[in-house]
């Protein structure tokens, strides 16, 4: 990781604007507190991963970490995104690391527990 | 919420066993710390929502809260799950409340920020 590393929060994308708004809210604490963090979409929504890589390269970034805003690994993260990364690295001469999806981090399970506890407390 | 209320963590389900294992891990802190909390799947995996409602009714539960392990509302949560709930309520004579997906709770965005911070720290 160097000063020119960009962290990309990658969501699936949807034609439903409300779906994207939820992801923008999910990404907001990260984007607001971490320099060089951005959110983008695999398909159907903008900015796309392709757009973010292109504009970041124009800004001088050469090193990227993709943190998928997915709960688990499915076909997209096993096949589609790695193929997109191979193509983007070749076209832009950059390095892109694909991290495990956020759902594999134990912090998410603890947050879900806290959400469930909040439901119990609000009912009492 | 009564002593006989069951909290159901509902994931989508997948034919990929590894996908379900991620959700079991995501649900573990909730299931281990909250009485009457269980995890099940909308389709493709077991236990299904239908199975969990049926076995819970046999245990004496009549009141359910479904907390979707989804990051945002899409077609499944807008149409498919409400239709399943209407059917299950009629068949079993129970009350089932569908909560917003975990991804709409601000705690998830904060957890994602902490995951991203952990990535930065592990690189230093």
pLDDT at B72 > cutoff 60:
yes
pLDDT at A124: 67
The residue among A47, A59, A53, A55 whose CA lies nearest residue A86 is: A53
Of A18, A72, A116, the CB nearest to B30: A116
DSSP B74: -
Of the pLDDT bands very low, low, confident and very high (cuts 50, 70, 90), residue A62 is: very high
Length of chain A: 124
Averaged pLDDT, A14-35: 95
pLDDT at A3: 57
Gap from B48 CA to chain A (nearest CA, Å): 18
Contact flag B67-A34 (C-beta cutoff 8 Å):
no
pLDDT at B80 > cutoff 70:
yes
Averaged pLDDT, A5-28: 95
Share of residues in chain A with pLDDT > 90 (%) = 91
pLDDT at B1: 53
Share of residues in chain B with pLDDT > 70 (%) = 97
pLDDT at B124: 67
Question: What average pLDDT does chain A have?
Answer: 94
**A18 chain-B contacts, CB cut-off 8 A:** 72-73
pLDDT at B122: 84
Q: What is the ipTM of this complex?
A: 0.95
Q: Which residues of B1-36 are buried (b: 16+ CB within 10 A; e: fewer)?
A: eeeebbbbbbbbbbebeebbebbebbbbbbbeebeb
Of the pLDDT bands very low, low, confident and very high (cuts 50, 70, 90), residue A26 is: very high
Closest residue in B to A117 (Cα) is B34
pLDDT at B3: 57
pLDDT at A52 > cutoff 70:
yes
Of the pLDDT bands very low, low, confident and very high (cuts 50, 70, 90), residue A74 is: very high
Q: What would the two tokens of residue A85 be?
A: 């990364």
**Which residue stretches of chain B are H helix?**
17-33, 49-59, 75, 81-92, 106-123
pLDDT at A2 > cutoff 60:
no
Contact flag B30-A106 (C-beta cutoff 8 Å):
no
Closest residue in B to A24 (Cα) is B109
Give the mutation candidate from A12, A77, A112 for the B interface (greatest B CB count, under 10 A): A112
Report how far apart the first and last C-alpha atoms of chain B are (Å, whole number).
Answer: 47
Contact flag A112-B1 (C-beta cutoff 8 Å):
no
The CA–CA distances, whole Å, from B52 to A36, A56, B10, B83, B92 equal: 44, 48, 10, 16, 12
**A26 chain-B contacts, CB cut-off 8 A:** 71, 103, 108-109, 112
Averaged pLDDT, B25-46: 96
The CA–CA distances, whole Å, from B68 to A19, A96, B81, B90 equal: 15, 32, 10, 21
**B26 chain-A contacts, CB cut-off 8 A:** 71, 103, 108-109, 112
Backbone angles phi, psi at B97, to 5 degrees: -100, 130
Give the angle subtended at the CA of A59 by the CAs of A55 and A65, to the nearest 5°.
70
Question: What average pLDDT does chain B have?
Answer: 94
Q: For chain A, give the secondary structure using H, E and C.
A: CCCCEEEEEEECCCCCHHHHHHHHHHHHHHHHHCCCEEEEECCCCCCEHHHHHHHHHHHCCCEEEEEECCCCCCHHHHHHHHHHHHHHHHHHCCEEEECCCHHHCHHHHHHHHHHHHHHHHHHC
pLDDT at A123: 76
């Amino acid at each position: 990781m160097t000063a020119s590393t960009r962290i990309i929060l990658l969501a699936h994308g949807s034609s439903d604007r409300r779906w994207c708004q939820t992801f923008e809210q999910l990404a907001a604490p990260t984007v607001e507190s971490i320099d060089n963090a951005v959110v983008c979409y695999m398909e159907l929504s903008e900015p796309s991963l392709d757009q973010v890589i292109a504009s970041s390269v124009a800004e001088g970034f050469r090193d990227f970490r993709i943190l998928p805003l997915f709960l688990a690994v499915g076909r997209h993260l096993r096949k589609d995104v790695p193929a997109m990364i191979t193509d983007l690295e070749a076209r832009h001469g950059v390095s892109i690391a694909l991290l495990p999806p956020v759902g594999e981090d134990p912090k998410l399970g603890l947050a879900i527990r806290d959400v469930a506890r909040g439901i119990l407390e609000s009912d009492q």
